[in-house]
Amino acid sequence: MVARRTRGAVGMIVSLLCFVPLQLHSQGVDDAIRVSRQGMNFNARALGMGNAYSTIGYDFTALRMNPATLGLSEGATYTMSVNTNGFLYSSNFYGTETNFTTTNTSLNQAGFTFPVSLDSTRQAVFGFGYTQDKDFNMGGKYSGFNSGSTSFIQLLKEDPTDAARQLGLVYPTYDPVGRYLGDQTVLNGNFQERGYVLDAGNMLHFSGGVSLQAAPGVSFGVSGSYNLGTYNSDREFFAEDLLGFYPDSLRTNPDDPRTAGFVDASYRDVRTTQYKGWDVRFGIVYRFYNFIGLSASFKVPFAHLIDRTQYVSGTSSFSSGSVIDVNQTGVSTSYQITPPYEGTIGAMVNLWILTGAAEATYVDYSQMKVSGGLSFPDESDINKRIKDEFTRVVNLNIGAEFRLPFTGLIARAGAMYRPSPYKGDPSRYDQKFITLGFGINSSDRLFFDIGYLYGWRDQRKDEVQTAADPTVDQTIRYHDALISVKFVL
C-alpha cells in the first residue's frame, strides 16, 4: 500500500498527530476501527478482481471470505502470496518541503486445502494456513518555521497528558469553585518546529475450516480464525523559539515560575499495542454447473484483547535557566473490543472465457463494543462515542476475469467501494479502489498471478477527535501489489 499526501502546513501537523490519538477514549475508538475494518490483501487473483471472491474463490482464501467455496475445489492445493507496499509522504510545511518513504514486503499468505471423499458423489474439503490482510506501516516528517497558530502543542491542549503539563506545554484551568474547565497553552506557533512519526504493524489470521458438499452444486462451510495483530507507533516533536517571540516575562504555566521565557521543547510518545481474538465464518454457495453461482456468508466475531504499553518522555528549557525532563516508565492498559458482525451476499456468472462476480457486505460499525479492563465510566464513554459517531455501511466489490482461449493467459479488473463508517460523512471520505490483475494457468496445475490496487480517499481531521483546522483536508492514495502461486496437487 502506497499513500501520498501533499497539503499545507497545518495539515502536516494534523495528519501526523492523527496517526495515534492522545486520550484513552480516542485510543479505544481508534483500536476498535483498526480491528474491525475489512482487510484488503488476500491473494493476487482476488485482488485483481476487486476482492469479489466469495462465490468463486475455491482455494485457501475462502477461509477468510466464504468457507463454503472450498467445496468447489477439484484437488489438494497449496497457495502462497507475497505482498509489497510502501508509504510515500510529502509535506509542505510553511514553504519547507520534506519527503519521507517507508516500504514493506511480507509473505502475506500460505495455506493448504485437501479433499476427503465421503461417498461416490460427495466430498469434504479441509483447509488451514495464515493470512496477513492488513498492514499498518506508515510514517511522515515535517520541518520548518511555523508562522501560524496551530502546532503539536496546540493539539496537546485539546487532549492533554500529564507529561505535557509537567513540561509546561499546557496547564489546566478551573472555575472559581474548582471545576475543571480544560487546558490552555500560550505556545501557539511562531517557532521552528519539526515532527517525525513512524508506525508499523500488521494483522495476521491463523485459519482452519471445512466445506461439505451437501448436494450437487451446493456446499456449506465453516472456518475459524485466531487473529493476532501488532501496532507500534513512535512520535517525536520539537519546537524552538529562534526569534525570541516568547518574552522572558511570559510563563507557559502562570503558576510555575520555572516556565518563564520559553526556549525549546521536545515531546515523544512511543506505544506498542497487541490485538488477540477469534472470529468464525459460516457460508453457503450454490453453483448451477459452472454457469451461475450464488453465495452468502456471515462472520461472527468474538472479543479481542487489547494490550498497550505507552512511554512518554520530553524535555523543555526556559530562559529562567530551568530545564524540565520527563521520562515516564511504561504504562500498560488492557481491555477488550468486540468487532461488528458482517454479512455478505455474492453472485457470479461464467460465459466460457469471461467470468464476472459481485458481492456486497453489510457492516454495522455502531455495534463495536469495548468491555473489560477499564473503569465503568471510561468503558461507557467509549461505547457512547461509538454509538454517536459510527454508522452502518454496505461495502461493494465487483470484478471480471477474461481467459484468452488456448493460451492459459488471464486478465482481470475490478473495483471496490467502502463507505466511511462515520456518520454524516460526504462521499469524499469513502474509500474507492480500482484493481488490475494478470495470471498464467499452466495445465490447471500451476497458477501464477499478479494483482495491483490503486485507491484514494480524503482524510477526516476529526477521526480521532483532534482540534484541527476543519478547513484542511488530506488526500490519501494507495498502491499495492500482490504476487501469488497456487499448486494443484
Residue 345 cell numbers, joined: 451476499
How far, in Å, are 137, 237, 469 from residue 10 at the CA level? 23, 14, 7
Find out whether 348 and 56 touch, Cβ atoms under 8 Å: yes
Mean pLDDT of the chain: 87
Strands in 328-445 per DSSP E = 331-338, 342-351, 354-364, 369-371, 392-403, 409-418, 431-442
- Within a domain: 381: no
Residue 460 has a pLDDT of: 52
* CA dihedral sign of residues 336, 340, 341, 344: negative
Residue 1 has a pLDDT of: 46
Answer yes or no: is pLDDT of 452 > 90: yes
Residue 14 has a pLDDT of: 43
Residue 433 cell numbers, joined: 479502489
- Within a domain: 480: yes
pLDDT tens column, 16-72: 444 333 445 566 788 888 899 988 889 999 999 999 999 998 899 999 999 999 988
- Within a domain: 363: no
Q: How confident is the model at residue 483 (pLDDT cuts 50, 70, 90)?
A: very high
User: Distance (Å, rounded) from C-alpha 357 to C-alpha 367?
Assistant: 29
Q: How many domains does the chain have?
A: 1
- Within a domain: 114: yes
Residue 27 has a pLDDT of: 67
How far from chain centre, in Å, is Cα 161?
25
**Higher pLDDT pick, 279 / 199:** 279
The residues, any chain, with a CB within 8 Å of residue 404's CB and separated by 6 or more, are: 353, 410, 411
Answer yes or no: is pLDDT of 113 > 90: yes
Residue 57 has a pLDDT of: 86
User: Distance (Å, rounded) from C-alpha 243 to C-alpha 190?
Assistant: 8
**Higher pLDDT pick, 120 / 384:** 384
pLDDT tens column, 4-30: 433 444 444 444 444 333 445 566 788
- Within a domain: 116: yes
Read off the amino acid at residue 428. R
Instruction: Provide φ and ψ at 15, rounded to 5°.
Output: -65, -35
pTM of the model: 0.85
Q: What's the full length of the chain, in residues?
A: 489
- Within a domain: 385: no
Give the residue numbers spanning the domain of 237.
9-282+299-340+446-488
Answer yes or no: is pLDDT of 474 > 70: no
Find out whether 354 and 402 touch, Cβ atoms under 8 Å: yes
Find out whether 377 and 31 touch, Cβ atoms under 8 Å: no
The residues, any chain, with a CB within 8 Å of residue 424's CB and separated by 6 or more, are: none
- Within a domain: 290: no
Of the listed ranges 77-86, 186-195, 428-437, 466-475, the one predicted with least confidence: 466-475
- Within a domain: 384: no
Answer yes or no: is pLDDT of 329 > 80: no
